[in-house]
Amino acid sequence: MSIQAQIETIAEGFNGRIAFSVLDLQTNQTVNYHADETFRTASVIKLAILTTLMSQVDAGTASLDAPIMLRRSDVTDGSGVLQYLTPGLTMTVRDYAFLMMSISDNLATNVLIDHVGLENVQAFMAASGYSEIVLHRKLISGIPPSPLGTATPAALTRLITAVFRRQIVSPAACDEMMRMMDGVGSGRVGRYLPFSAYGNYGSDEPEVDKLHLAGKTGSNVGLRTQTAVVWRGDWQEARGFAITVMTEDNPAPEMWSVDAEGTLVIGRIARAMYDDVFA
């Protein structure tokens, strides 16, 4: 059975909307399923915010070392730790960005949307060829009036591939982005992948053989998404794949279970692609 047929079979077993776009980094072969359909991103849209910030750093209009004070008006609920800390805390832009990506901190995200400019995120995405990726608003406590962001799986896979290949902003900025996304999604894309014990930390496995994962996840009730890159060895060897899976409208009465069906199906699709790429 072809990899296309294998992954389509997995996707068709999901109860809800699902789409994916996967790219073999060595061959540039793509495996797509409804990849040009628009889905809600949830927190995956934070990748667009980070990329825009890094473009401003490259241009000299922003600095990762600039201090920003946490304001009471920034506070929002949802994921993260900053909402529980005392307003008046001052951190660098780099620290806010790291928290936004590594633990999906919502308050850090709002701080950075104000710092970068929501309209600038849209302008940079469109100018860079990713007009399908749209940040609609800041995060709001309670029931949101509209999606935080929308995108297609195809556009997100192209974007994270460009970050991995050091193509969308400067190589140094791309490296910083990859650092901030290191290991994110280990329970989704990485759920069924053969990482060393404790990830790669403390492993005596040769660096060239280590399996790496970097990405961004998004969650809401009945919705799970992830975009990521999975690779072995040096990034220039391109032994791996980029993947985006987007799901929504799963009717199961779950909230944030680690075993939500959307989470599991993302893991199954990633494992099928891993077996094909690294066969």
Determine the Cα–Cα distance for residues 8 and 26; give it in Å rounded to an integer. 22
Local confidence band at 256 (pLDDT 50, 70, 90 cut-offs): confident
Quick: pLDDT tens for 42-56.
999 999 999 999 999
- Whether 216 shows a pLDDT value over 90: the answer reads yes
Q: Across residues 198-202, what is the average pLDDT?
A: 51
Quick: pLDDT tens for 75-92.
676 666 777 777 888 999
Residues whose CB falls within 8 Å of the CB of residue 127, separated by 6 or more in sequence, listed in order: none
Quick: pLDDT tens for 3-56.
999 999 999 999 999 999 999 999 999 999 999 999 999 999 999 999 999 999
Local confidence band at 156 (pLDDT 50, 70, 90 cut-offs): very high
Q: Indicate the CATH number of 3-277 among 3.40.109.10, 1.10.357.10, 3.40.710.10, 1.10.150.120.
A: 3.40.710.10
Quick: pLDDT tens for 95-141.
999 999 999 999 999 999 999 999 999 999 999 999 999 999 987 76
- Global pTM? 0.92
Determine the Cα–Cα distance for residues 176 and 88; give it in Å rounded to an integer. 26
Determine the Cα–Cα distance for residues 39 and 178; give it in Å rounded to an integer. 24
Looking from the CA of 53 toward its CB, the CA atoms found within 13 Å total 28
Determine the Cα–Cα distance for residues 117 and 125; give it in Å rounded to an integer. 13
- Whether 143 shows a pLDDT value over 80: the answer reads no
Boundaries of every domain in the chain: 3-277
Count of beta carbons in the 10 Å neighbourhood of residue 250: 20
